[in-house]
C-alpha cells in the first residue's frame, strides 16, 4: 500500500509544478522536532525525498525549499537506526550526483555566454578563478577556457589611425607608386615590395616599432593603392592603478599571488599525468598566462 501511495504521490508532484510546496513544511517539521516521533513516519518522509527515477524533491528549482529542507536533513536527530542512516546516505549521494551534473553544465554554459557587449559580473569571474584550483579536472579546464575568454574581452581596444599613402611612404623613405585608385596592375611590383616579407626590415627600437605601419588588408597594393589607409597603431593602452576595472583587479590580485599561480601550474601538470600521455603544448593555457601578462600593470 505504501509503495503504491508513493508512486501516485510522485506522479502528482511531477505533473503539478511546485506542488511539492504542500508537503515540504510538514517534512521539515518532522525532521526538526526534538520530541519522540514515529520511526515509520521518518522513514516514509525519507523515502518521499529519495523519490524515484522520475522525481527527486531535494534538487527541485526552489531556493526557498532548499533553504528549509537541506539543513533539516543534515541536522536531523532521528537518524539513530541503520536503515534511516542508509536512506539519508542515499539521498545525499543522489543530491551530489545531480548538483554535480548541474554544476558542470552551468560552467560550460557560462563559457559560451561570455561576450564583449555583456558585462561580466564579479561573482562570475571569481567563480572561474576559484575553479582554476578545483579538485575536479573538468571544472579546471572550463575555468581555463573562461579566464582566457575574459582576458581577451577585457583587453583595451586597439588604436587606429588614418594616413595618406603619401605620408606613409614618406616616413619609410619609399617613392610614390605610379598607380593609384583608378589604375590597376595586379602582381608584384617595386612599389608594393614593402608590404611583403621580401622587403621587411624588423624595427630595432620601441619607437621604430610603434611607428611601423602593418597593414591588415592583404589586398592593399596588389591591384592598386588607395589614397587613404587606415591601420592599427602598434601601441596599446595598458591598465594602471588609476584606471584598472574591478573585474581586472580580481585577476590581477590572484595572478600576482605566487602561491596561487604555483597551485594552478601544479594542477596543469597533474592533468597531463592523469591523461597518461606525453605533455603537449596547450594553447588555451598558454594564452591565459600570455594575456594576463600583457594586461598586467
94-136 pLDDT per residue, tens = 888 887 777 788 888 888 778 777 788 888 888 889 988 988 8
147 in the same domain as 246: yes
Residues 168 and 228 in one domain: yes
Q: Based on the domain organization, do 82 and 218 belong to the same domain?
A: no
Give dist(CA 185, CA 165) in Å, integer. Answer: 17
- Residue 193: is its pLDDT beyond 60? yes
CA dist 44 and 55 (Å) reads 16
For residues 258 and 136, state if they share a domain.
Answer: yes
Task: State if pTM tops 0.75.
Answer: no
Q: What is the per-residue pLDDT for 230? A: 84
pLDDT at 237: 64
Residue range 206-212: mean pLDDT, rounded: 77
54 and 136 belong to one structural domain:
no
**How large is the average pLDDT for residues 217-241?**
76
Residues 197 and 84 reside in one and the same domain: no
Statement to judge: residues 223 and 86 lie in one domain: no
Provide the pLDDT for residue 296. 45
The total number of structural domains that make up the chain: 3
At residue 259 the predicted structure's pLDDT band, cuts being 50, 70 and 90, is very high
Give the per-residue SS3 of 13-49.
HHHCCCCCHHHHHHHHHHHHCCCCCCHHHHHHHHHHH
Q: Does the pLDDT value for residue 295 go beyond 60? A: no
pLDDT digits over 60-81, tens only? 888 888 888 888 888 877 667 7
| Residue 80 belongs to domain spanning | 2-106
pLDDT of 174 over the 60 cut: yes
Rg for the chain, CA atoms, rounded: 31
Q: Are 230 and 215 in contact (CB under 8 A)?
A: no
Question: Do 191 and 214 belong to one domain?
Answer: yes
CA atoms within 13 A on the CB side of 264: 21
Domain C-terminal end among 190, 207, 232: 232
281 and 185 within one domain: no
pLDDT of residue 215: 73
The better pLDDT of the pair 123, 187 is held by 123
Whether 47 and 139 map to the same domain: the answer is: no
Q: Is the domain of 41 the same as that of 183?
A: no
CA torsion through residues 18, 19, 23, 27, sign: negative
Answer yes or no: do 16 and 30 share one domain: yes
* Residue at grid coordinates 502528482: 12
pLDDT at residue 45 is higher than 80 = yes
DSSP H or E segment with residue 278: none
pLDDT of residue 297: 46
Q: For the residues 251-270, what does the mean pLDDT come to?
A: 87
Residue 124: exposure state from Cβ atoms within 10 A (0-12, 13-18, ≥19) = middle
Question: What was the pLDDT predicted at 14?
Answer: 84
Amino acid at each position: 500500500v505504501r509503495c503504491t501511495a508513493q508512486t501516485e504521490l510522485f506522479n502528482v508532484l511531477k505533473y503539478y509544478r511546485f506542488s511539492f510546496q504542500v508537503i515540504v513544511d510538514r517534512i521539515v517539521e518532522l525532521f526538526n522536532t526534538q520530541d519522540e516521533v514515529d520511526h515509520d513516519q521518518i522513514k516514509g518522509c525519507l523515502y518521499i525525498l529519495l523519490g524515484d527515477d522520475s522525481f527527486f524533491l531535494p534538487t527541485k528549482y526552489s531556493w526557498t525549499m532548499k533553504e528549509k529542507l537541506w539543513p533539516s536533513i543534515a541536522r536531523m536527530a532521528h537518524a539513530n537506526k541503520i536503515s534511516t542512516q542508509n536512506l539519508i546516505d542515499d539521498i545525499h549521494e543522489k543530491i551530489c550526483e545531480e548538483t554535480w551534473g548541474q554544476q558542470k553544465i552551468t560552467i560550460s554554459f557560462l563559457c559560451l555566454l561570455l561576450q564583449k557587449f555583456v558585462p561580466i559580473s564579479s561573482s562570475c569571474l571569481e567563480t572561474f578563478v576559484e575553479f582554476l584550483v578545483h579538485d575536479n579536472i573538468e571544472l579546471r579546464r572550463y575555468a581555463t577556457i573562461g579566464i582566457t575568454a575574459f582576458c581577451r574581452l577585457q583587453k583595451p581596444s586597439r588604436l587606429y589611425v588614418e594616413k595618406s599613402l603619401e605620408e606613409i611612404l614618406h616616413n619609410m623613405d619609399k617613392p610614390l607608386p605610379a598607380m593609384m585608385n583608378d589604375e590597376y596592375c595586379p602582381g608584384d611590383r617595386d612599389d608594393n615590395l614593402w608590404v611583403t616579407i621580401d622587403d621587411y626590415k624588423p624595427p630595432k627600437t620601441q619607437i621604430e616599432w610603434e611607428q611601423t605601419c602593418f597593414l591588415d588588408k592583404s589586398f592593399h597594393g596588389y591591384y592598386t593603392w588607395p589614397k587613404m589607409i587606415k591601420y592599427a597603431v602598434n601601441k596599446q593602452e595598458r591598465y594602471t592603478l588609476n584606471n584598472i576595472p574591478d573585474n581586472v583587479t580580481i585577476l590581477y590580485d590572484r595572478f600576482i599571488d605566487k602561491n596561487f599561480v604555483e597551485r594552478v601550474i601544479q594542477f596543469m601538470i597533474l592533468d597531463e599525468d592523469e591523461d597518461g600521455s606525453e605533455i603537449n603544448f596547450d594553447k588555451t593555457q598558454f594564452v591565459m598566462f600570455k594575456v594576463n601578462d600583457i594586461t598586467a600593470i
